[in-house]
Structure 1
């Protein structure tokens, strides 16, 4: 009886090859085995493509983490002096990175919410870059390197820090 010419299901082929292996004989191979392997590879590739398309973008991850931190701070009743909190930014490598911040004492907090008047328009101007520099100089941003982030991310951090200083209870 020629076992290799006959077509078997995967289960039959597996059972025959297990029996042959126990008897010390080489396994039989069929042409449809290669097709099955190729189909499995295609199915795995399709799953990988689906995983990529359903993955969160870096911006979505950042937004989700920042919203979770904001909700955590609201639930605990706001920020207190010298309390640590975090804010997630996207670095130059397009990866999320948490920035640890320390809430200032009440005396220092007043200097972070200053506004200046624009002499040309007479409107109030808030200098966001000064907020980050003041936090950095007062050592309220430990382990923070401003060069690791694009200016758009630094501006976003400054906006968040100024909001936190003006509204530590997130109301």
Structure 2
């Protein structure tokens, strides 16, 4: 369990650093943006949306990771918004269309994520994932739903199998 939490923490840390780069002064080169916001001491708010109930294991783990990150980075406030069920997808679509996306959000990948990528609403993570072996630690199947036009726009934190059963007598 702790190893899983550490991996999730790493995902959050990397994605958070990307989000911090979005908060940097416009016009800086991409490689400079993250350090400008992270080291400026300027207060940064990260809006993080997910679907996991606050009192469930996932919601609790996400909150712990956010609290740990904020303790290590006092200038960063992570604001978690929990929206469960179908209202999450509706609210996300509404905010995306309004040009007000959350900074960090849960996605199932695929077509909707690709629409957001084509509209320039999500960060290309390809270079970040190529920086070390972390990017190669994901299985190709789960990563495929986050790849679009040769770029990566998300990472899986877990995946499951769905089986299809049929009645041969039919």
**TM-score normalised per structure 1:** 0.24
**TM-score normalised per structure 2:** 0.24
Question: When you count helix as a share of all residues, which structure comes out higher?
Answer: 1
Structure with larger Rg:
1
